[in-house]
Chains A and B, each alone.
Chain A
């Protein structure tokens, strides 16, 4: 019952593969510039006044956000024909917008790299960079992104309204419109740093801790139906429960960003309560994947056939990594420092960085890589896609590398909390006392090593994604 569309002949699925391809290129750029930044922690003179840390780090996090947005758009274009039973409406415009999007991103990155910073004028904000973490893209590109996102949302809505509107499609329609609309909150200039950060978090937090998480819930639901033939009714019921839990905790969980930016004290209680609830849906999502997998395999075994129910081994492994990684990276590592009593000392240390690495990876990178494997399967008309040596190396090295980086950064964060914060009170001198600690320095060495391992894993991943479709090992 799975794979009713092989993907061959669907323009929507073809566009999806384009989106995935560019996403993978940006993923590579993210890792490369991450390595540059990691080297600079160990050797501060590296590329000094050539590609400084601020430039490397800006490309590192911007490439991260944009490759995920590309892969998210790709995932939606991929699943739409399966879910709605029709070809995506407006696909020609979708393809045009794709090229506009790609061209804009290339220009933005080249300007980041070659121009880097500008004079303190509005022109810089409009044409070089906006200087706001994660959404540094200059204002002209902001408007370009709005146009592309509106086109994408229109395609999704028109297709959803004409075709069979499944629960998954309904969730995506509601979620993607919020996702696109929230971007507008990050597109104005204000003299007040407090006002600036208040609205900046509407984009960042309400993306990654609300709308993106719901997106992941919808994709996981699609994946379970496609890969192990889980019951749509059960999966969609879980999806609605997850939406309620994710938005119920995540929307007001934004309070945990409002502890120290000049906003009133009542955000302590609101932020602490709701963000402490945020891990619950992530536990639920993990249980949900394990439950459906066990149930389907159990049914299969009871029928006397003890073969695996999974028709795409690498994709399912990445989806499983997502279910667990989301819980571990976003849930556990997030909860570590979400209470104001703790956050007073951890806010703005490598602790945040440790959480950021494992959460973005566990919650988003994993499932989007899984979707890339589903697209490879569909594009090549494969009935059962199996592991190859490269796919195993890729998952082991990437997961191992990111976990290693996370643990190293957590240790570095402890040093900062104890030395720079608790003991020295966050001054300039206190900051450098922490940075020069032996444990901090060693943690940064380990982080670099683990970053290199992650990058090597990425090379295996690309090799596998490009070659596994033609590998004779799969069942066709």
Chain B
């Protein structure tokens, strides 16, 4: 047995494989616990007292959201500013806002958005990324998409487009009609607004090159 080296011993490698796998799995589970704490959704109280959460609570739809360069972190972060009307109201209760977000998230899956668009950069590449769609200049006052739908606010413009996408062809590649109702469209816009408030570590970079936004104003 003098010539037998541990490096050519199957049992040694079998045990090594088991240890390495176990160690990596334990580390992943430990990191998952930490991450779960950091990505749990915030509450209305957090928003009112200005506590920054990576994923704010659903009532973030009552506020103005902007995307600004943080000199401290060296990347762009969503900034939640003053109150802003959403479909004419800025006083959605936690329950109402959660119901809208629930409807919107269900809608995003039921309408299979992800097999054309990307959400947080994941999905298909046939249509624009929706991560910060709420902040897209095209939907703002004076933006091309808002003007096209003839609506006076961006949430109404987005909801109108979602209900009748092929009525508003922007390019030869069009969004098909997915049978989205007015209520579902409202939920989807709430879902998009909420998504734009998520801290995505600066993705996408230079979004829309938004000029002049300071402190959510």
Contact = CB atoms under 8 A, between A and B. Distances in A.
Interface in B159-217: 166, 170-174, 176-179, 181, 184, 187-188, 191, 195, 198-209
Interface in A163-189: 167, 170, 189
A428 B140 CA distance: 12
A189 B107 CA distance: 12
- Counting contact residues on chain A (CB < 8 A from B), the size range is 35 or more
Nearest to B180: A120
Interface string A118-147: 111110110011111100100000000000
Contact of A425 (B20, B184, B208): B208
B17 A240 contact: yes
B21 A248 contact: yes
A194 B198 contact: yes
Given A57-B115, A193-B120, A131 B13 contact: no
Given A243-B17, A263-B35, A252 B28 contact: yes
A263 B176 contact: no
Given A120-B187, A259-B203, A54 B28 contact: no
Given A120-B110, A344-B203, A426-B129, A237 B13 contact: yes
Interface string A44-80: 1100110011110110000000000000000000000
Given A167-B10, A197-B122, A428-B145, A264 B41 contact: no
Interface in A84-143: 116-122, 124-125, 128-133, 136
Contact of A431 (B9, B104, B129, B181): B129
Interface in A232-247: 233, 236-237, 240-241, 243-244, 247
B212 to A, nearest CB: 15
Interface string A423-444: 0011111111001100000000
A428 B128 contact: yes
A434 to B, nearest CB: 10
A6 interface: no
B112 A117 contact: yes
Nearest to A56: B115
B10 A236 contact: yes
Contacts of A52: 116, 176
A352 interface: yes
B172 A45 contact: yes
Contacts of B129: 348, 426, 431
Nearest to B199: A262
A54 B39 contact: no
A370 to B, nearest CB: 24
Given A237-B10, A260-B120, A268-B201, A120 B115 contact: no
B55 A233 contact: no
Contact of B124 (A54, A117, A121, A240): A54
A251 B24 CA distance: 6
Given A117-B110, A421-B205, A53 B116 contact: yes
B27 interface: yes
A247 B120 contact: no
Contacts of B151: none
Contacts of A251: 21, 24-25, 27-28
Contact of A428 (B112, B114, B133): B133
Contacts of A22: none
Interface string B94-124: 0000100111111111111111101111111
Given A125-B110, A192-B39, A261-B121, A431 B126 contact: no
Interface in A203-248: 233, 236-237, 240-241, 243-244, 247-248
A121 B122 contact: no
A120 B35 contact: no
A347 B115 CA distance: 16
B111 A347 contact: no
A120 B184 contact: yes
Contact of B105 (A48, A191, A344): A191
A41 B126 contact: yes
A2 to B, nearest CB: 21
A54 B17 contact: no
Tier of interface size on chain B? 35 or more
A155 interface: no
B209 A425 contact: yes
Contacts of B132: 426
A40 B24 contact: no
A350 interface: yes
Nearest to B172: A44
B207 A244 contact: no
B108 to A, nearest CB: 7
B146 to A, nearest CB: 12
Contact of B54 (A57, A117, A233, A264): A264
A192 B184 contact: no
A417 to B, nearest CB: 11
A312 to B, nearest CB: 26
A119 B25 contact: no
Nearest to B139: A428
Between A129, A133, A262, A349, the greatest number of chain B beta carbons within 10 A of the residue's beta carbon is seen for: A262
5 contacts: A49-B177, A244-B17, A421-B204, A427-B208, A429-B137
Across chains A and B, which 5 residue pairs bring their CB atoms closest together, nearest first? A131-B109, A120-B107, A260-B203, A426-B204, A240-B13
Interface of A: 37, 40-41, 44-45, 48-49, 52-55, 57-58, 116-122, 124-125, 128-133, 136, 167, 170, 189-198, 233, 236-237, 240-241, 243-244, 247-248, 251-252, 254, 257-268, 270, 344-345, 347-350, 352-353, 416, 421-422, 425-432, 435-436
